[in-house]
Amino acid sequence: MTEETWGQVREGLIRQVGRNNYLTWIEPLRFRDLTEGVARFAVPTGFHGDWVSRNFAEAIRRELDAAGVQVARVEFAVLKDMPKAEPAAKEAAPAARKAPAAAAAAPSSVATPAVVSSDEAVLASAPLDARFTFDSFVVGKPNQLAHAAARRVAEGGPVTFNPLFLYGGVGLGKTHLMHAIAHEITARNPEARILYLSAEQFMYRFVQALRDKQIMSFKELFRSVDVLMVDDVQFIAGKDSTQEEFFHTFNALVDQNRQIVISADRAPGEIKGLEERIASRLQCGLIVDLHPTDYELRLGILQQKADFYRGQYEGLKIAPGVLEFLAHRISTNVRVLEGALTRLFAFASLVGREISMELAQDCLADILRASDRKVTIEEIQRKVAEHYNIRLADMIGPKRLRTVARPRQVAMYLAKQLTPRSLPEIGRRFGGRDHTTIMHGVRKIEELMSTDSQLADDLQMLRRLLEG
Ligand SMILES: Nc1ncnc2c1ncn2[C@@H]1O[C@H](COP(=O)(O)OP(=O)(O)OP(=O)(O)O)[C@@H](O)[C@H]1O
């Protein structure tokens, strides 16, 4: 392969993976040879090779293909005495590179890494996705608190809450917000040393440092940052020595008043296998959760992404009502929502048709089927009990007090509306009540809804919560 071809491939890769990722991970690669459809590259370290192989191998293969180089597989291996590369684009200064590189210039009160070669330094922060900024984050009721807290951290200033703990279900924007914080801090203060990585990478690095007898460098590097961000911290639950190391790193940074941002799929106290003392330290800061999306937020996100795609696929039209239909039907998570829209635009552009309701239903049949969530009566009872702050047992118990009886009727009404169960079936789940009692409960709520706006609001909220 000629230098010219590789130059062309480089350009394509920058477009595909973003400049930050390119500079951090791909630019240090050295092309070695191409034999029998296998392109081989030298990498500075095993970790680098592993990361590139997992995250960018397919992109590299595709770009090679596009440049006319037929490649079936791409391989990466560490080569002793690998020549150092000249940076391809000096103007870009991504946070991912900056964090450790700037560590060398850390104030004297902070322990700087003993020996951190530039390649090792580059590896200290996981790549940031250039698209995950505050500008591209759509704010709605379910995520407004998390967004506000993330913004506050990103604005810098005195550390008021430490750590910021963001939690929520799959694909609700935790990683997006963390990357946005890193981008914003870097934009405001290019010298800030930000270290972002997943808990899995933290463990991987820790184990590697133990193996290579580099534990002091590891400790020093982690303790020398201004902002540490660890994504998906639930991963270290049950992993004793990693937790121990994490605990010490955490304490050292808090003592130095350095900002820590953590994300997880649940609240600290609910992570099984997480040491008590870690859970309690994590609870010392601000804990905010990203709630499941509601219809308005999903529609907002779809509109934003559709605007982006309209720019990419010029002339492609989208019929009125399609985005509303998707926001209504796909309520699982934002990643699925985005995937659906991407597929829809790609498909419509391929067949050269407008994105109509019919096309959406055809093209997204599998996603729409999977998203048809079935709400259960037990779930309804649980959510309603939580909402009205009564015991779950009272849903099926005999109490007739209004404070219990009304929520029970709300649950009966929702069970009738949201499940295909018959009145006798519902009655059985409500402590063996007769179907006429259920019918009475449902009617009572229907009546009250038109006069009691608080009840109508409660019902709307519960309905959304259950359908989301
Ligand atoms: N409010 C939002 N506005 C715009 N895009 C969003 C929003 N929330 C999520 N997304 C997008 O949804 C996708 C998934 O988000 P992200 O990776 O941040 O989720 P996560 O909460 O970290 O999920 P996981 O638990 O799987 O790690 C990303 O492409 C992100 O940009």
Residue 168 CA: nearest ligand 1 atom is 21
**What is residue 442's predicted lDDT score, i.e. its pLDDT?**
94
pLDDT tens sequence across 140-189: 999 999 999 999 999 987 877 899 999 988 889 999 999 999 999 999 99
Closest of 149, 129, 130 to residue 139, by C-alpha: 149
Task: Please tell me the pTM assigned to this model.
Answer: 0.61
Cα(16) to centroid(ligand 1), Å:
19
Percent of the chain with pLDDT over 70: 88
Q: Which residues contact 352 (CB under 8 A, 6 or more apart)?
A: none
Question: Given pLDDT bands bounded at 50, 70 and 90, which one contains residue 466?
Answer: confident
User: Which atom number of ligand 1 is nearest to the Cα of residue 173?
Assistant: 18
Determine the distance separating the centroid of ligand 1 and the alpha carbon of 176, expressed in angstroms: 5
Ligand 1 neighbourhood includes 150 CB (under 6 angstroms)? no
Query: What pLDDT is attached to residue 80?
Result: 62
Q: CATH topology for 95-290? A: Rossmann fold (3.40.50)
Examine the pLDDT at 352 and tell me if it is beyond 80.
yes
At 311 the pLDDT is 85
301 lines ligand 1 (CB under 6 A): yes
pLDDT value at position 113? 28
Q: In Å, what is the CA distance from 297 to each residue of 139, 200, 290, 303?
A: 7, 30, 12, 10
SS3 416: helix
Cα separation, 335 vs 174, in Å, equals 12
> What single string gives the DSSP state of each residue in 159-216?
--SSSEEEEESTTSSHHHHHHHHHHHHHHH-TT--EEEEEHHHHHHHHHHHHHTT-HH
How does pLDDT run across 16-61, given as a tens digit for each residue?
A: 887 767 877 788 888 888 888 888 888 877 767 877 887 888 889 8
132 CA → ligand 1 middle, Å: 9
Query: Mind listing the pLDDT tens digit for each residue in 197-228?
Result: 999 999 988 998 898 888 888 888 888 899 99
At residue 370, the pLDDT reads 73
- pLDDT of 382 reads 94
Section 67-86 average pLDDT: 73
Kindly state if the Cβ of 170 falls inside 6 Å of ligand 1. Answer: yes
pLDDT given for residue 261 in this prediction: 97
pLDDT higher than threshold 80 for residue 374: no
**What's the pLDDT at 48?**
75
Residue closest via CA to ligand 1's atom 16 equals: 173
Q: Which residues of 363-392 are buried (b: 16+ CB within 10 A; e: fewer)?
A: bbeebbeebeeebebebbbebbbeebebee
3 pLDDT tier (thresholds 50, 70, 90): low
pLDDT on residue 266: 87
Instruction: Give the number of the atom of ligand 1 that is nearest the alpha carbon of residue 300.
Output: 3
The predicted structure's pLDDT at residue 20: 66
Between 381 and 370, the higher pLDDT residue: 381
Q: Which of 202, 209, 208, 286 is nearest to 243 (CA)?
A: 202
Residue 417 has which token pair?
A: 């509306």
Report the pLDDT value the prediction gives residue 87, as an integer from 0 to 100: 35
CATH 3.30.300.180 residue ranges in the chain? 3-78
> What pLDDT does 418 receive?
84
pLDDT value, residue 350 = 87
Q: Out of 8-12, 243-247, 269-273, give the one with best mean pLDDT.
A: 243-247
What CATH number does the domain located at 295-371 have?
Answer: 1.10.8.60
Q: Where in the chain is the domain with CATH 1.10.1750.10?
A: 377-467
- 338 Cβ closer than 6 Å to some ligand 1 atom: yes
pLDDT score at 258:
93
Q: What is the DSSP letter of 288?
A: E
Q: How far apart are CA 9 and CA 88, in angstroms?
A: 13
Task: Please determine, for residue 384, whether its predicted confidence score (pLDDT) is greater than 90.
Answer: yes
- CATH entry, 377-467, from 1.10.10.10, 2.40.37.10, 1.10.1750.10, 1.10.150.20: 1.10.1750.10
Tell me the pLDDT tens digit for each residue of 95-154.
Answer: 333 333 333 222 222 222 222 333 343 346 778 888 899 999 999 999 999 999 999 999
Residue indicated by tokens 């104030």: 107
Q: How confident is the model over 309-322, as pLDDT tens digits?
A: 888 888 889 999 99
CA 337 to ligand 1 center in whole angstroms:
10
pLDDT score for 369? 79
**CATH class of this structure's domain 3-78:** alpha beta
Q: Is 174 in the pocket of ligand 1 (CB under 6 A)?
A: yes
Give the annotated binding-site residues.
Answer: 171, 173-175
The first and second tokens of residue 133, run together, are: 């900024």
Predicted-complex ipTM score: 0.98
Note the pLDDT of residue 390.
Answer: 94
The band of 433, judged by pLDDT with boundaries at 50, 70 and 90, is: very high
**pLDDT, mean of residues 241-262:** 93
Summary mean pLDDT of the chain? 84
